[in-house]
Every structure is written in C-alpha cells, then in structure tokens.
Structure 1
C-alpha cells in the first residue's frame, strides 16, 4: 500500500504519523500522480491545528499533508484532456502531496518543463504562485519601489525575484541572519523587528510605492504607514488586518495558467525556487518542524521518490 505522512486528528505534532493508505482513484477531471517531490508550507501545519480554508469541507481523518507536489502521471480520470500517463506534472493535489501517490485536478496542474527539476517544480504551486498573484495584483511600475515584508520565506523569495524581473526596486525585510540571502536575490535588506519602518525610510528616502506583506500582525501595522495610498498594501500574512488598514488580501488565481507562468520564469532563470533543504518522506515530520519554527530560508521540499 502507498506510504503517506498524515495527521490523524487536529492538534500538534503528536497528531502526525506515517501511514499506508489505499491507492487513490482519479475521478472526473483528476490525475493519479506518482509523487516525486512535495513542497512544505506553513498552511500544512496550520491545517493540522484545525485551520480551514473558506468553503473547504470538514477533514476526513487521516488527512495527508501537502498542498503542492510534482510527479509523473500514472492514470487519468474521466473527461481529462491534455494529459497522458508518463508525463511530468506539478500542481496542487487534492489528496495531499506528502505521499507516494496523490490526485491532482487538471484545473490546478501544469506540465513540468524539461528544464525544471522535480524538487524545483514542487516548490512553485503555493509560494511562487502566491507571489506571482500578488505582484500581478499590485502591478508595480518599472523603477518604482516595492517593500516585501518578510522577504526570506518561500513567498517572499519569489516575490522579490518576480518584481526585480519587472525592473522594480525591492526593499526586503527579514532577520539579520538572512541579510546575505535577501541581497543575493537583488533586494535591499532591512532588518525586521521593532522600528522596522524607520529603517525602511532610511533605505528608501524617496518613499515606498507599495507593500507586499507576508508577516501580518504588528509588523504589517508598522509598515502599512509607509504608503500614502493604503490600497497599495496587500497581504498574504494578515488578511483580516490588512483590510482594516485599508489594503487588501492577496487575490489568488489558483489556475494552471499561473503555474505555467511561474514555470516559464523559472526555466528562463528569472525565478529560482531557492530550495534550501530537502528531506525524505520518512523524515517529513522534521521538514514540518523546520517550517513550523517560522525561521526557514527559502523553500523546504520532501523528496518522495528518486
């Protein structure tokens, strides 16, 4: 039976377990995919604690972790067009990516380009796609200044690169330990923490034109005041708070077209997945702990099969 990493109830890490599950069967519009790699994201452990996306169904335990994956098509469900067994794909699974096999809807699945490793492709569907959607939402003009609040994590890393590719000057807040990493992406690093707004003003004396926040909380409140037009503040880290501040949450497209777009950027060298650590499936818990700690650099990926 296929192996998977699951949570058996809502709670903390004690609710996690390695498991063997029945082989999933693709329904209409779905692909059965042999997973090669799965990205690790904060939403994974948040779902374990009981968080639910708006409109989502109640969990049916055991639930397999993982919101993004890359692998090879094994079988197609009824009505599927454009995908064949043996093709390499990546996208957002409906039955979890921390597994040897998963189901992926064709609506949020794209063909993996030959020039992209499976580990790289698995790092794109959540973080890079969120970053792409956010930059598209702001549409910063070339030469303008964008503040990425939380530039060291998966979404921030991608947002910095996409904006720089568009000719935008980027200020990136992150911990002091991530200074070299953030600067290597082409951003001006500003240490995060209390007083960050003053440090951003010093780094951008002509002001900031827009804010892409990935942190939320007090950090978002402090930097939101840097922009005169609060509609130019968006957040993927404090969605309710940013609306109260006059901004907006990042609007997700969640479609294959965005996946194709970020894959092209990656193949063209404009976007590096920045996979900084990988773990095998039998150490998925360690991968989650690293992300749950909140101080990861770039993306962590689980390698399910070689």
Structure 2
C-alpha cells in the first residue's frame, strides 16, 4: 500500500485526509514515481474548493508537481528507467502529495544531480508558469517587466527569469515581501491603491511586459501602464483578453529550460518551508493564507 493525501468532499480543509491506496501501476507512456518531494500551490486549494466542478469523482488525490525516483515504467517508455531521478507535473487527481504517483514520461525531465528533490519539486508547476509568462511576449534586453504578485511562489521565480533575460524588473507585492522581491534584483513597489503611480515614476515611458498573478483591478491599472495591451499576460484572470492581452500560453520545453537555469545557479526556487506528508494540511494552509514568502514543499522520507 501507499499513502496519499486527498479531499473527500468539496469545500474547506476539514475535508482533507491522509489515506492508504494500492501502489499505482503505470500505463502506456507512464512512469511510476516514488515521490521524494511535492510542491504546494494555490491551485491545490482552489481544486478542493470546487474549481473542477461538482461532478468530479470523490475522493480526489491532491498535489500537482513532484520530484522523485522512477520505480517502474509503462509500455512504450524508452527514455527513462527504474532508478532515474525525475521531476514532472501530476495530472489532477493522480496525487502528488503521495508516496507514489503516476506521471507522463513525455512531461518528465531528468533531475540534475546538483538540484535537491525539494527544489526540483516546485519547478513543474510554479517554475514553468514563471517561464511561460516571461517568454510568451518578445521583449528586447533592457526592456522593463512589471510583475503583479512578485512575492509569491511564481512571482519571485518570474522576477529571476526576467533578470536572466536582461530585463529591468519591477515587482509589486505586500510590504512584508519587500526583502524577497529585492533579493531577485527587482525594484520593489508596495501593493495598494497607488502602486500604479509609483510604477509611472520608475518607468515614465511605460513597461514593455506586464506579468499578472493577481487579476482584478490591479490588472486593469497595470494594463494602462503597458506600452501596448498585447504586452500584458496573466495567469490569474481571463479579463486580460478583454483588455487586449493574453492568458498564459505553454512554451515548448519550459520545464527543461527552467530546470537548467536552476542547475546553473541562475534561478533560486527559494523554498522557505517543508512539511512531512503527515502535516500536509499545515502546508496547504500556509499557501492558502497567501502569506508564504517563497515556496512550500511536502517532503517524503526516503525508504
């Protein structure tokens, strides 16, 4: 048997529990991964709250990104073998907060030896989101990128990737996250009703790329700051398309590319808290509160 963290009803954290299940069997093109670490994301709580609709079969295993060791491979897998260390996204309902899970071999990458399982675990979702948002619009080196929500798990990664691209980065976040934002090399601007005025002072000619992780009124204000509406991309709010921008689009090879940036020491995943599987509820609560500065990871004990 293998343990997995699930929710058994839609709603709040009171519906979460740790249960046993048979060790999954990999199908065609799949890897069975003995999980060593799993990243925690805001989407985990949103799914539990009903983000997939009411007709999802219950219980639902939680967790969307993992790093671990291949325990078995399914038919048709040629690029991986048992014993390989990998990182990969996990399909909704398969369960990343688990001792074992299944991932698509086509979506996995080999974990470089120089990256810990804990750091690797936050790249399949948060890392690729940051990479996608910072690369789907062409911006010349020396251009300016504005990030709304720069102190969160995706935002601080996006700031670092932007700096690698040679962009001047302005990060909007709460005052409590000033130090984290500034540690990326970004210029900090406090969130609030007047953030747009502060950004105008820093970039009077406008910003070339807006990366939105907040949505709502902040997105509306930031769009006005952009040199062109098409330079606004969002992972938070479909409103962006009505304002002339675009929602996040997948960039081919993003997971391998962000992994290489971490392996080269150019991007720091900045994991600030780890919890054992038995304390998964606490890990989710930290992320759901919105106050986490950096990434939160659930770490398994290696057998």
Normalising to structure 1: TM-score of the pair?
Answer: 0.95
Q: Where does structure 1 lack aligned partners over 5 or more consecutive residues?
A: none
Offset at residue 305 of structure 1 (A): 2.1
Alpha-carbon distance in structure 1 between the residues aligned to 2:273 and 2:17? 21
Alignment partner of 1:261 is 2:257? yes
Cα offset, 1:206, TM superposition: 3.6
Q: 1:246: how far off?
A: 1.1
Match of 1:181 in 2: 180
The question of whether the paired residues in 1 share the 8 Å contact of 2:206 and 2:227 is answered with no
Cα deviation code 1:223-280 (max 9, x no counterpart): 1110131010010011x11011111101124x6x221111110011111111011111
Contact between 1:224 and 1:233, CA under 8 Å: does it hold in 2? yes
Matches within 5 A, 1:74-89: 74-89=71-86
The residue that corresponds to 2:227 in the other structure is 228
Q: Which residue of 2 aligns with 1:17?
A: 17
Which residue of the partner structure matches residue 114 of structure 2?
Answer: 115
Q: How many aligned positions are there?
A: 300
- Cα deviation for residue 58 of structure 1 reads 4.9
The more displaced of 99-108 and 133-142 is: 133-142
- Counterpart residue number, 2:243: 245
Q: Displacement, 1:107?
A: 1.8
Matched, 1:276 2:269: no
Q: Does 1:211 align with 2:210?
A: yes
The answer to whether the Cα contact below 8 Å between 1:146 and 1:169 also exists between their aligned partners in 2 is: yes
Q: After alignment, is 111-120 or 220-229 more displaced?
A: 220-229
Unpaired segments ≥5 residues, structure 2? none
Cross-structure match for 1:303? 299
Instruction: Give the Cα–Cα distance (whole angstroms) in 2 for the partners of residues 17 and 123 of structure 1.
Output: 22
Q: Displacement of 1:209 after TM fit?
A: 1.4
Do the aligned partners of 2:205 and 2:227 also contact (CA within 8 Å) in 1?
Answer: no
Local SS of the residue matching 1:73: strand
| Secondary structure of the structure 2 residue equivalent to 1:104 | strand
**Whole-Å separation in 2 of the counterparts to 1:138 and 1:177:** 30
Does residue 137 of structure 1 match 2:136? Answer: yes
Q: Tell me the distance in 1 between the aligned counterparts of 2:203 and 2:187.
A: 9
Distance in 2 (CA, whole Å) between partners of 1:243 and 1:258 is 23
Runs of 4+ deviating beyond 3 Å: none
> C-alpha separation between the residues in 2 aligned to 1:60 and 1:101?
20
Matched residue of 2:127: which SS?
helix
Q: Does 1:126 align with 2:135?
A: no
Counterparts of 1:185 and 1:102 in 2: how far apart (Å)?
33
Q: Give 1:155's aligned residue.
A: 154
Report how far residue 127 of structure 1 moved: 0.8
TM-superposition CA deviations, 1:164-183 (whole Å, max 9, x none): 01110000000011111111
Shift of 1:25: 0.7
After superposition, the C-alpha distances for 1:276-297 in whole angstroms (9 at most, x for unaligned) are: 1111100000010111111211
The residue number in structure 1 matching 2:88 is 91
Identify the residue that residue 166 of structure 1 maps to in structure 2. 165
Q: Secondary structure at the match of 2:98?
A: coil
Contact kept, 8 Å, 1:35 with 1:305, in 2: the verdict is no
Q: Tell me by how many angstroms 1:52 deviates.
A: 2.4
